[in-house]
Structure 1
Amino acid sequence: MVDVPWSFGSPCGELAGIDLAGWRVEAVEGHIGEVDDYSDKAGNAFPVVNAGGWIFGKLLIPAGAVTQIDPDGRSLHLILSRGQVADAPAFPPDQHRADRQYREDVVEYYWKAGPC
């Protein structure tokens, strides 16, 4: 993962003009859901993943956990395992953009759980 959790790393390439909504999201072991919402703003970037068919909910994942963006395959690849994603903090859609403590908890979880 990158040192700046809320920014896409350089391997992801340029995102300007790309709409990620609906793209597949792949953990290390395979598919976990689709991008429901996202931000590509520098320092505040993240996908919100709808993992409804797998863990029945949505997840906010810091952009620093994205290792690759594949425009041809319309997919995002994460450095995270399915288990790490399944055990992630619950996503409160009414809080995620403004709740500083929630965002800090998300970063702490993924950076603690991830292979940094």
Structure 2
Amino acid sequence: MSDIWGYGPASKYSSGTDLTGYKVEATDGHVGKVDDATDEVGSAFIVVNCKPWLIGKHVMLPAGTITVVETDQETIHVNRTKDEIKNAPEYDPELHRNDAKYRTTLGTYYGSHGR
């Protein structure tokens, strides 16, 4: 499951790149923009603001769900559908950003959908 929390080599992610504001595209369409991101080894993720698609909802996506980062287009593609993202465990930045139990739950959820 630790693979899900790291950027894969095919993602073309360069360590230290600020992903804030990048558009996020699921396999079946646009889901939102990045509000927060980290590239911490073993716990890397992005937080996506899903307005207006899912009003007021933010989601945490483990870095392992990212298929490619297009820096020239400021776009991130993930290997999940909009429904998979919509049905993920709810993310609250005040409660979950550094919560190991939440990350385990999220890692299990996204890990069960394949990498």
**TM-score of the pair, normalised by structure 2:** 0.91
Superposition deviation, residue 15 in structure 1: 1.8
Q: What are structure 1's unaligned runs of at least 5 residues?
A: none
Q: 1:90 aligns to what?
A: 90
CA distance in structure 2 between the partners assigned to 1:98 and 1:3 by the alignment: 16
What SS is found at the alignment partner of 1:41?
Answer: coil
1:3 offset after TM fit, Å?
6.1
2:12 corresponds to: 13
Per-residue displacement from partner, 1:67-114 (whole Å, max 9, x unpaired)?
1000111111000001100111100212223211111111111112x2
Aligned partner of 1:93: which letter? P
Q: What is the aligned partner in structure 2 of residue 104 from structure 1?
A: 104
State how far apart, in whole Å, the 1-side matches of 2:110 and 2:58 are: 15
Tell me what 2:75 maps to: 75
Distance in structure 2 (CA, Å) of the matches to 1:7 and 1:97: 16
- TM-score, normalised to structure 1, is 0.90
Corresponding residue SS for 1:55: coil
Aligned equivalents of 1:44 and 1:3: distance in 2? 8
Does residue 26 of the first structure (1) align with residue 25 of the second (2)?
A: yes
Gapped runs of 5+ residues in structure 2? none
Secondary structure, aligned partner of 1:44: coil
- Give the Cα separation in 2 of the matches to 1:37 and 1:10: 21
Q: How many residues align?
A: 114
**Following superposition, which runs of at least 4 residues in structure 1 exceed 2 angstroms of deviation?**
95-98
Letter in structure 1 aligned against 2:51: G
Deviation at 1:14, TM superposition (A): 4.1
Shift of 1:25: 0.2
In 1, are the aligned partners of 2:24 and 2:76 still within 8 Å (CA)?
A: yes
C-alpha distance in structure 2 between counterparts of 1:14 and 1:52, whole Å: 25
Identity %: 34
Rounded to whole Å, the distance in 2 between the matches of 1:39 and 1:7 is 10
Cα distance between partner residues in 1 of 2:77 and 2:66: 6
